[in-house]
Protein backbone atom coordinates (compact mmCIF):
# COMPACT_ATOMS: atom_id res chain seq x y z
CA UNK A 1 0.00 0.00 0.00
CA UNK A 2 2.99 2.27 -0.29
CA UNK A 3 6.00 3.16 1.81
CA UNK A 4 7.19 6.53 3.05
CA UNK A 5 10.90 6.83 2.30
CA UNK A 6 13.44 9.41 3.40
CA UNK A 7 13.32 11.72 0.40
CA UNK A 8 13.78 15.47 0.35
CA UNK A 9 12.20 17.03 3.45
CA UNK A 10 11.53 20.53 4.72
CA UNK A 11 10.39 21.17 8.29
CA UNK A 12 8.91 24.36 9.71
CA UNK A 13 9.19 25.01 13.44
CA UNK A 14 9.47 28.14 15.59
CA UNK A 15 9.16 30.39 12.55
CA UNK A 16 12.05 28.84 10.62
CA UNK A 17 12.24 26.37 7.71
CA UNK A 18 14.85 23.64 8.17
CA UNK A 19 16.02 21.30 5.47
CA UNK A 20 15.67 17.69 6.59
CA UNK A 21 14.39 16.32 9.90
CA UNK A 22 15.63 18.58 12.74
CA UNK A 23 15.64 17.36 16.36
CA UNK A 24 12.79 19.17 18.12
CA UNK A 25 11.86 17.00 21.11
CA UNK A 26 13.60 15.89 24.27
CA UNK A 27 13.03 12.95 26.55
CA UNK A 28 10.89 15.10 28.87
CA UNK A 29 8.74 16.47 26.06
CA UNK A 30 5.13 15.55 26.86
CA UNK A 31 4.52 14.61 23.25
CA UNK A 32 7.27 11.97 23.50
CA UNK A 33 6.67 10.28 26.80
CA UNK A 34 2.94 10.87 27.28
CA UNK A 35 1.83 11.00 23.62
CA UNK A 36 0.17 14.40 23.32
CA UNK A 37 0.89 14.44 19.58
CA UNK A 38 -1.54 14.84 16.69
CA UNK A 39 -0.94 15.18 12.99
CA UNK A 40 -2.72 15.40 9.70
CA UNK A 41 -1.73 14.70 6.13
CA UNK A 42 -2.50 16.33 2.82
CA UNK A 43 -1.13 15.60 -0.63
CA UNK A 44 0.59 18.06 -2.97
CA UNK A 45 0.98 17.21 -6.66
CA UNK A 46 0.72 19.00 -10.00
CA UNK A 47 0.20 22.36 -8.33
CA UNK A 48 -2.72 21.35 -6.12
CA UNK A 49 -3.22 20.31 -2.49
CA UNK A 50 -6.73 18.80 -2.45
CA UNK A 51 -8.90 19.64 0.57
CA UNK A 52 -5.97 21.32 2.32
CA UNK A 53 -8.34 23.53 4.29
CA UNK A 54 -10.14 20.49 5.73
CA UNK A 55 -6.87 18.80 6.70
CA UNK A 56 -5.67 21.95 8.49
CA UNK A 57 -8.98 22.33 10.31
CA UNK A 58 -8.83 18.70 11.43
CA UNK A 59 -5.29 19.10 12.76
CA UNK A 60 -6.51 21.95 14.97
CA UNK A 61 -9.58 19.99 16.06
CA UNK A 62 -7.44 16.95 16.91
CA UNK A 63 -5.13 19.06 19.06
CA UNK A 64 -8.05 20.48 21.03
CA UNK A 65 -9.48 16.99 21.61
CA UNK A 66 -6.18 16.04 23.29
CA UNK A 67 -6.30 19.15 25.51
CA UNK A 68 -3.90 21.40 23.61
CA UNK A 69 -4.31 25.01 22.55
CA UNK A 70 -3.37 25.48 18.87
CA UNK A 71 -1.88 28.89 18.26
CA UNK A 72 -2.39 28.99 14.48
CA UNK A 73 -5.54 29.19 12.40
CA UNK A 74 -6.29 26.77 9.59
CA UNK A 75 -5.70 29.59 7.11
CA UNK A 76 -2.24 30.25 8.55
CA UNK A 77 -1.34 26.56 8.28
CA UNK A 78 -2.57 26.56 4.68
CA UNK A 79 -0.34 29.52 3.86
CA UNK A 80 2.68 27.84 5.46
CA UNK A 81 1.93 24.65 3.53
CA UNK A 82 2.00 26.45 0.19
CA UNK A 83 5.19 28.23 1.27
CA UNK A 84 6.83 24.89 2.04
CA UNK A 85 5.62 23.16 -1.12
CA UNK A 86 7.22 25.97 -3.15
CA UNK A 87 10.64 24.79 -1.86
CA UNK A 88 10.32 21.60 -3.92
CA UNK A 89 10.45 20.98 -7.65
CA UNK A 90 7.08 21.63 -9.28
CA UNK A 91 6.93 17.98 -10.38
CA UNK A 92 7.39 16.59 -6.86
CA UNK A 93 4.65 14.51 -5.23
CA UNK A 94 4.58 15.44 -1.56
CA UNK A 95 3.10 14.59 1.83
CA UNK A 96 2.14 17.69 3.82
CA UNK A 97 1.87 16.98 7.55
CA UNK A 98 0.94 19.65 10.13
CA UNK A 99 1.53 18.49 13.71
CA UNK A 100 0.83 19.75 17.21
CA UNK A 101 2.34 18.44 20.42
CA UNK A 102 2.68 19.58 24.03
CA UNK A 103 6.07 20.37 25.51
CA UNK A 104 5.14 20.09 29.19
CA UNK A 105 2.58 18.60 31.51
CA UNK A 106 2.07 15.49 33.62
CA UNK A 107 -0.52 13.01 32.41
CA UNK A 108 -2.53 15.91 30.96
CA UNK A 109 -0.63 18.22 28.60
CA UNK A 110 -0.08 21.81 29.65
CA UNK A 111 -2.22 23.61 27.02
CA UNK A 112 -0.02 26.71 26.88
CA UNK A 113 3.01 24.57 26.00
CA UNK A 114 1.49 23.52 22.67
CA UNK A 115 3.94 23.60 19.78
CA UNK A 116 3.43 23.42 16.02
CA UNK A 117 5.54 21.66 13.40
CA UNK A 118 4.95 21.32 9.67
CA UNK A 119 6.74 18.52 7.85
CA UNK A 120 6.68 18.31 4.06
CA UNK A 121 8.46 15.49 2.26
CA UNK A 122 8.68 13.65 -1.01
CA UNK A 123 6.29 10.70 -1.23
CA UNK A 124 5.33 9.56 -4.74
CA UNK A 125 1.68 8.59 -5.17
CA UNK A 126 1.49 4.79 -5.35
CA UNK A 127 0.27 3.19 -8.56
CA UNK A 128 -3.15 1.51 -8.24
CA UNK A 129 -1.79 -2.01 -8.66
CA UNK A 130 -3.79 -3.46 -5.78
CA UNK A 131 -3.15 -4.67 -2.24
CA UNK A 132 -4.04 -7.71 -0.16
CA UNK A 133 -5.78 -7.78 3.22
CA UNK A 134 -6.86 -10.21 5.91
CA UNK A 135 -9.04 -9.91 9.00
CA UNK A 136 -7.14 -8.64 12.02
CA UNK A 137 -7.44 -10.02 15.52
CA UNK A 138 -7.03 -6.44 16.78
CA UNK A 139 -10.01 -4.07 16.91
CA UNK A 140 -10.57 -0.36 16.78
CA UNK A 141 -11.32 1.15 20.21
CA UNK A 142 -14.69 2.67 21.03
CA UNK A 143 -14.94 6.43 21.45
CA UNK A 144 -15.04 6.07 25.25
CA UNK A 145 -11.81 4.02 25.19
CA UNK A 146 -9.50 6.32 23.20
CA UNK A 147 -9.49 9.74 21.48
CA UNK A 148 -10.90 8.20 18.30
CA UNK A 149 -12.20 11.46 16.86
CA UNK A 150 -8.66 12.89 16.72
CA UNK A 151 -5.91 11.96 14.30
CA UNK A 152 -3.78 11.18 17.32
CA UNK A 153 -0.40 9.48 17.13
CA UNK A 154 -1.22 7.39 20.20
CA UNK A 155 -3.76 5.42 18.12
CA UNK A 156 -1.16 4.23 15.63
CA UNK A 157 0.64 1.50 17.62
CA UNK A 158 -2.64 -0.42 17.38
CA UNK A 159 -2.58 0.18 13.63
CA UNK A 160 1.03 -0.94 13.49
CA UNK A 161 0.47 -4.23 15.26
CA UNK A 162 -2.47 -5.00 12.95
CA UNK A 163 -0.27 -4.36 9.91
CA UNK A 164 2.53 -6.52 11.34
CA UNK A 165 0.13 -9.36 12.03
CA UNK A 166 -1.13 -9.12 8.44
CA UNK A 167 2.41 -8.95 7.04
CA UNK A 168 3.39 -12.02 9.03
CA UNK A 169 0.51 -13.87 7.35
CA UNK A 170 1.63 -12.74 3.90
CA UNK A 171 -0.83 -9.85 3.45
CA UNK A 172 -0.09 -6.15 3.03
CA UNK A 173 -2.68 -4.78 5.42
CA UNK A 174 -5.60 -5.75 7.62
CA UNK A 175 -9.33 -5.26 7.92
CA UNK A 176 -10.05 -4.13 11.46
CA UNK A 177 -13.36 -4.61 13.23
CA UNK A 178 -15.00 -2.25 15.70
CA UNK A 179 -15.81 -3.23 19.31
CA UNK A 180 -19.18 -4.63 18.17
CA UNK A 181 -17.55 -6.95 15.64
CA UNK A 182 -18.53 -5.01 12.52
CA UNK A 183 -16.03 -3.89 9.89
CA UNK A 184 -14.43 -0.55 10.78
CA UNK A 185 -11.85 0.02 8.04
CA UNK A 186 -8.55 -1.19 6.67
CA UNK A 187 -5.65 -0.70 9.08
CA UNK A 188 -5.13 2.92 8.07
CA UNK A 189 -7.56 3.65 5.23
CA UNK A 190 -11.33 3.75 5.01
CA UNK A 191 -13.01 0.80 3.32
CA UNK A 192 -15.60 0.47 0.58
CA UNK A 193 -17.00 -2.48 -1.30
CA UNK A 194 -19.13 -2.79 -4.43
CA UNK A 195 -21.97 -5.28 -4.87
CA UNK A 196 -24.16 -5.25 -7.99
CA UNK A 197 -23.17 -1.68 -8.78
CA UNK A 198 -23.92 -0.26 -5.32
CA UNK A 199 -21.24 1.16 -3.02
CA UNK A 200 -21.20 0.10 0.63
CA UNK A 201 -19.05 1.54 3.41
CA UNK A 202 -19.10 1.24 7.21
CA UNK A 203 -21.31 3.81 8.90
CA UNK A 204 -19.43 6.29 11.04
CA UNK A 205 -19.78 5.19 14.67
CA UNK A 206 -16.97 6.93 16.51
CA UNK A 207 -14.44 4.09 16.31
CA UNK A 208 -12.58 5.34 13.22
CA UNK A 209 -12.09 8.63 11.43
CA UNK A 210 -14.58 9.79 8.84
CA UNK A 211 -11.74 10.41 6.42
CA UNK A 212 -11.56 13.55 4.33
CA UNK A 213 -10.85 11.49 1.21
CA UNK A 214 -13.70 9.14 2.20
CA UNK A 215 -16.10 12.07 2.34
CA UNK A 216 -14.86 13.43 -0.97
CA UNK A 217 -15.24 10.05 -2.73
CA UNK A 218 -18.80 9.63 -1.40
CA UNK A 219 -19.67 13.11 -2.67
CA UNK A 220 -18.19 12.37 -6.09
CA UNK A 221 -20.00 9.03 -6.24
CA UNK A 222 -23.36 10.66 -5.50
CA UNK A 223 -22.71 13.44 -8.01
CA UNK A 224 -22.10 10.77 -10.66
CA UNK A 225 -25.25 8.73 -10.04
CA UNK A 226 -23.67 5.98 -7.95
CA UNK A 227 -25.71 4.66 -5.04
CA UNK A 228 -23.89 4.75 -1.66
CA UNK A 229 -25.07 2.91 1.45
CA UNK A 230 -23.43 3.53 4.84
CA UNK A 231 -24.27 0.74 7.26
CA UNK A 232 -22.96 -1.84 9.71
CA UNK A 233 -20.96 -4.35 7.65
CA UNK A 234 -20.15 -7.92 8.59
CA UNK A 235 -16.77 -9.24 7.48
CA UNK A 236 -18.50 -12.02 5.53
CA UNK A 237 -19.94 -9.39 3.18
CA UNK A 238 -16.45 -8.56 1.98
CA UNK A 239 -15.96 -12.15 0.88
CA UNK A 240 -18.99 -11.82 -1.40
CA UNK A 241 -18.07 -8.38 -2.82
CA UNK A 242 -17.54 -7.65 -6.51
CA UNK A 243 -14.95 -4.96 -5.77
CA UNK A 244 -13.21 -3.67 -2.65
CA UNK A 245 -11.14 -0.50 -2.35
CA UNK A 246 -9.63 1.80 0.22
CA UNK A 247 -9.63 5.59 0.44
CA UNK A 248 -7.00 7.57 2.27
CA UNK A 249 -4.73 10.53 1.94
CA UNK A 250 -1.63 8.52 1.03
CA UNK A 251 -2.95 6.80 -2.10
CA UNK A 252 -6.39 8.49 -2.40
CA UNK A 253 -8.26 5.54 -3.98
CA UNK A 254 -6.62 2.12 -4.10
CA UNK A 255 -8.02 -1.27 -5.17
CA UNK A 256 -7.93 -4.31 -2.92
CA UNK A 257 -7.12 -7.37 -5.05
CA UNK A 258 -7.19 -10.07 -2.37
CA UNK A 259 -9.23 -10.48 0.80
CA UNK A 260 -8.19 -13.55 2.78
CA UNK A 261 -7.96 -16.28 0.10
CA UNK A 262 -10.38 -14.56 -2.30
CA UNK A 263 -8.86 -12.83 -5.34
CA UNK A 264 -10.49 -9.71 -6.74
CA UNK A 265 -10.10 -7.97 -10.05
CA UNK A 266 -9.39 -4.24 -10.11
CA UNK A 267 -12.97 -3.17 -10.72
CA UNK A 268 -14.44 -0.55 -13.05
CA UNK A 269 -16.25 1.38 -10.30
CA UNK A 270 -13.08 1.55 -8.21
CA UNK A 271 -11.10 2.97 -11.12
CA UNK A 272 -13.90 5.29 -12.14
CA UNK A 273 -13.95 6.79 -8.66
CA UNK A 274 -10.17 7.08 -8.67
CA UNK A 275 -10.35 8.92 -12.01
CA UNK A 276 -13.15 11.15 -10.73
CA UNK A 277 -11.11 12.00 -7.65
CA UNK A 278 -8.06 13.12 -9.61
CA UNK A 279 -10.19 14.97 -12.15
CA UNK A 280 -11.76 16.90 -9.26
CA UNK A 281 -8.39 17.42 -7.53
CA UNK A 282 -6.86 19.00 -10.62
CA UNK A 283 -9.94 21.20 -11.09
CA UNK A 284 -10.63 22.24 -7.49
CA UNK A 285 -13.16 24.89 -8.51
CA UNK A 286 -15.47 21.99 -9.39
CA UNK A 287 -16.92 21.47 -5.93
Tens of pLDDT, residue by residue over 144-168, are 999 999 999 999 999 999 999 999 9
**How confident is the model at residue 6, as a pLDDT?**
65
* SS3 letters across the chain: CCCCCCCCEEEEECCEEEECCCCCCCCCCHHHHCCCEEECCEEEECCECCCHHHHHHHHHHHHHHCCCCCCCCHHHHHHHHHHHHCCCCCCCCEEEEEEEEECCEECEECHHHEEEEEEEEECCCCCCCCEEEEEEEEECCCCCCCCCCCCEHHHHHHHHHHHHHHHHCCCCEEEEECCCCCEEEECCCEEEEEECCEEEEECCCCCCCCCHHHHHHHHHHHHCCCCEEEECCCHHHHCCCCEEEEEECCCEEEEEEEECCEECCCCHHHHHHHHHHHHHHCCCCCC
Per-residue pLDDT of 170-224, as tens digits, reads 999 999 999 999 999 999 999 999 999 999 999 999 999 999 999 999 999 999 9
In which residue ranges of the chain is CATH 3.20.10.10 found? 131-281
What was the pLDDT predicted at 7? 85
CATH 3.30.470.10 residue ranges in the chain? 9-122
The pLDDT score that the predictor gives to residue 258 is 98
Give the CATH class of 9-122. Answer: alpha beta
pLDDT on residue 5? 57
Query: What is the CATH topology of the domain spanning 131-281?
Result: D-amino Acid Aminotransferase; Chain A, domain 2 (3.20.10)
The predicted pLDDT at position 4 comes to: 58
**Residues in the chain with pLDDT < 50?**
none
Q: What is the pLDDT of residue 62?
A: 98
What's the pTM value of the predicted model, to 2 decimals? 0.94
Amino acid sequence: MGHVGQGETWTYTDGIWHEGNPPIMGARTHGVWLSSTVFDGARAFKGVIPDLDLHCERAIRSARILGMEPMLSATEIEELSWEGVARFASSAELYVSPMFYAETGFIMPEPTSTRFVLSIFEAPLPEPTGFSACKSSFRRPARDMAPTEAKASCLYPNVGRAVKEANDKGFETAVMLDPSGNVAEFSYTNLFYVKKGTLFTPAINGTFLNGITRQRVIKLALQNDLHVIEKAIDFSELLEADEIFGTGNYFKVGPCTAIEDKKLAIGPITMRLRDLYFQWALNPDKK
